[in-house]
A and B are shown apart, each in its own frame.
Chain A
């Protein structure tokens, strides 16, 4: 009996609180524009979430200093989701309750997926700087989802197109059995098989940490592959390439952004020479990117962390959409995001029907003289 009354009291409180926030939301000029920022701000993945908070803060400060959006100031509502799907649902409910007009985030694909349903019910949009899981946009389940990073399958498409360009007809596709590596390899395989321009002569997962890979390498050699596409991270890639080169195998090695990392070159040494890897297009020479990084250094005294530039672009796109649409209504905002280009540190971007950023993508790099060089 006692418990039910307690629950009832909580329910009433929540209901009243919700009613108040809803009424507050309806008010017009003079009020601040609340923008939610969600991601892991504590725990082991905090290093992926905090740069986004800083990016949002920097953009908000800049906009507010210039008089806000049509006179209305931006107020950030920052919520931690620890990258956990079960926490993210609560985070989302909290942000909805706080009356935000849109959300920058979430960071991890799993957490994003769990939050998007809540936002959709409340007609809120979210722009993620980092959730690369393809179904988030392609399934069509979340018309309110946008992202300023290219999805995993876009990288596979770039990789395969490059393999065609180099004229490889027989390709061995390997992966490390992990979510990321296997996902990438599966996309590559699917694209290769659908196009029929090259043959997948071998498709296998290797065991990370195995004592040696000679058996797999023998298999690659006997499959007659002209190129290897590897999905995974640099430790396995450097082991594979080292052992392949030691066997004098002259087979091209193509990989993903898990390998486009300087540690790969450091570990594989001379054997890394000539390896191809796809990675996000290098925008570090973009004037806006330089400016954003400098603003970060000035304010926080250090270089920005992961996805900072993507988050900065997401925040700029959102601010621009509010400005152009002259509204904070869901339909107006999504419409504005889809129909306008905005200058960001990632270049001039807009969003397609599904929510993926147009103008953001991957490039192919090659190790030349001990460093990755973008191939034009």
Chain B
């Protein structure tokens, strides 16, 4: 029983961690390339989930197969979120690329509020039921008390996405260009890399991952409103900083550390302090390793 409980908490921590990771990757990639904390990233996650809600609502009226609905909804969410991500970059960040970093940060916070209120007006402030896009299936019955099929699907999807992303960054031409840009933007430009294109692609990838996270988690918990992006975004940001912002493996590691800490904290201590666990671990790590778990030490002018 005790061991069961331990594994249940571990699985719930991993599920949480997966979701954080999908969002945190967007933060960390954007930071790596343009040195900007994109605080509107949580809203992109929320917009992805809303898109899936609307698309699946329309499709289910035609009585389509749930698996098709899921695939179409998640594709639509990815496309829509990516479009929002790129537009966001063009409108709010590109004009400020040469401006002090603080300006871009303020612009990001402004966009976050704008998008929240935009969805609030366009949709509603109420919580809406989110359809169960993730199918329930049978073979997990024996371990259902430890991990639900939803959690299982979230873990698998995240793992697949992570592997694909790593391969993409490591081996594709664009991936190489991204790495080069993050190392030294001016030098990359000199060797003929189109910086604007690289930045756009970064936003596309980051937003797509956030959209996947949004659809998975909304389907898991079955509800959605305009505000869900804010808290998830803050937690994912903490995870990215924890792992060392700018580092892709760092974001994943940070997310899992955060998810598991929260889960065990809730399970063995009390959920009263759920948010406190996240920030205590952040403070502790930043005291002993200011660059984050996997962050590289960069000497910076202050």
Using a CB–CB cutoff of 8 Å, the interface residues on chain A facing chain B are 177, 204-207, 209-216, 218-219, 221-222, 234-235, 238-239, 242-243, 246-248, 263, 266-269, 271
User: Whole-angstrom distance from the CB of B214 to the nearest CB of chain A?
Assistant: 11
Given contacts A214-B148, A267-B127, list 18 more A-B pairs with CB under 8 A.
A177-B272, A204-B271, A206-B271, A209-B228, A209-B230, A210-B231, A211-B232, A211-B235, A215-B271, A218-B5, A218-B12, A218-B267, A221-B145, A222-B8, A235-B225, A242-B221, A267-B222, A267-B223
Minimum CB distance partner of A205 in chain B: B272
Contact yes or no, A246 B150, CB < 8 A: yes
Contact indicator B271/A266 (Cβ below 8 Å): no
Q: Tell me whether A214 and B126 are in contact (CB under 8 A).
A: no
Question: For the complex, what is the distance from the CA of A10 to the CA of B70, rounded to whole Å?
Answer: 72
The answer, yes or no, to whether B135 is at the interface (CB within 8 Å) is: no
Q: Which residues of A contact B267 (CB under 8 A)?
A: 215, 218-219
Write 28 A-B pairs (CB below 8 A) sorted by A numbering: A205-B270, A207-B271, A207-B274, A210-B274, A211-B232, A212-B12, A212-B19, A213-B221, A214-B12, A214-B148, A215-B9, A215-B12, A219-B266, A219-B267, A234-B127, A238-B127, A239-B221, A239-B222, A239-B223, A242-B221, A243-B220, A246-B136, A246-B148, A246-B150, A263-B127, A267-B222, A268-B222, A271-B222
Known contacts A207-B271, A209-B228; decide if A215 and B222 are in contact (CB<8 Å).
Answer: no
Q: With the chains together, A268 CA to B221 CA distance in Å?
A: 10
Q: In the bound complex, how far is the Cα of B9 from the Cα of A219, in angstroms?
A: 9
Closest 4 CB pairs of A and B: A214-B12, A215-B266, A218-B8, A242-B222
Residues of B close to A235: CB separation below 8 A: 127, 223, 225
B223 and A247 contacting across the interface, CB-CB below 8 Å: no
Q: Are B275 and A207 in contact (CB under 8 A)?
A: yes
Q: Let me know if B43 is at the binding interface, CB within 8 A.
A: no
The contact of A267 among B5, B129, B148, B274, by CB within 8 Å, is B129
Do the beta carbons of B220 and A212 come within 8 Å of each other?
yes
**Interface residues on chain B, number (Cβ under 8 Å):** 43
Instruction: Annotate B260-274 by CB proximity to A: 1 below 8 A, 0 otherwise.
Output: 001100110011101
CB distance from A237 to the nearest CB of B (A): 10
Chain B residue numbers with a CB within 8 Å of A210 are 231, 274
Closest beta carbon of chain B to A230's beta carbon, Å: 13
Q: Please, which residues of chain A bring their CB within 8 A of the CB of B235?
A: 211
Q: Determine whether B41 belongs to the interface, using a CB cutoff of 8 Å to chain A.
A: no
Question: Does B80 have its Cβ within 8 Å of any Cβ on chain A?
Answer: no
* A248/B129 in contact, CB under 8 A: no
B151 within 8 A of A: yes
Question: Please, which residue of chain A has its CB at the minimum distance from the CB of B144?
Answer: A248
Q: Which residue on chain B has the smallest CB distance to residue A271?
A: B222
Number of A-B contacts (CB under 8 A): 102
Q: Is the CB of A204 within 8 A of B270?
A: yes
Q: In chain B, residues 185-218, which have Cβ atoms closer than 8 Å to a Cβ of chain A?
A: 217
Q: Which single member of B151, B225, B275 contacts A214 (CB below 8 Å)?
A: B151
- The smallest C-beta distance from B297 to any residue of chain A, in angstroms, reads 31
Complex CA gap A216/B271 in Å reads 7
Kindly state the separation between the CA atoms of A214 and B154 in the bound complex, as whole angstroms: 13
Q: Which residues 1-53 of B sit at the A interface, judged by CB distance below 8 A? A: 1, 4-5, 8-9, 11-13, 15-16, 19-20
Q: Which residues on B sit within 8 Å (CB–CB) of A218? A: 5, 8-9, 12, 267
Decide if B222 touches A211 in the complex (CB within 8 Å): no
Digit string of B117-154 for contact with A (CB within 8 Å is 1, else 0)? 00000000011110000001000000011001011000
Q: Is the CB of A266 within 8 A of B129?
A: yes
Q: Is the CB of B274 within 8 A of A269?
A: no
Residues of B within 8 A of A216 (CB): 266, 271
CA distance A242 to B270 in the complex (A): 21
CB distance from B145 to the nearest CB of A (A): 7
Q: Once the chains are docked, how many angstroms separate the CA of A206 from the CA of B266? A: 9
Which chain A positions have C-beta within 8 A of B129? 266-269
In the assembled complex, which residues on chain A have CB atoms less than 8 Å from the CB atom of B20?
A: 211
Shortest CB distance A265–B (Å): 10
Q: Is the CB of A212 within 8 A of B274?
A: no
Q: Please indicate the chain A residues that have their CB under 8 angstroms from the CB of B275 in the complex.
A: 207
The reply to whether the CB of B227 lies closer than 8 angstroms to some CB of chain A is yes
Interface pair B223/A242, CB less than 8 Å apart: yes
B221's nearest neighbour on chain A, judged by CB, is A239
Most buried by A among B8, B266, B275: B266
A residues near B148, Cβ cutoff 8 Å? 214, 246-247
Give every chain A residue within 8 A of B220 (Cβ-Cβ). 212, 243
Q: Min CB distance, A127 to chain B, in Å?
A: 33
Q: How far is A266 from B131 in the complex, measured between Cα atoms in Å?
A: 12
Of all chain B residues, the one with the shortest Cβ separation from A233 is B127
Chain B residue numbers with a CB within 8 Å of A271 are 222
Binary contact track B91-131/A, C-beta < 8 Å → 1, others 0: 00000000000000000000000000000000000111100
Decide if A247 touches B144 in the complex (CB within 8 Å).
yes
Which residues of chain B come closer than 8 Å to A213, judged between CB atoms?
A: 221
Assess the A238–B271 pair: CB atoms within 8 A.
Answer: no
Q: Is there an interface contact between B231 and A211, defined as CB atoms closer than 8 Å?
A: yes
Contacts of B274 on A, CB cut-off 8 Å? 206-207, 210
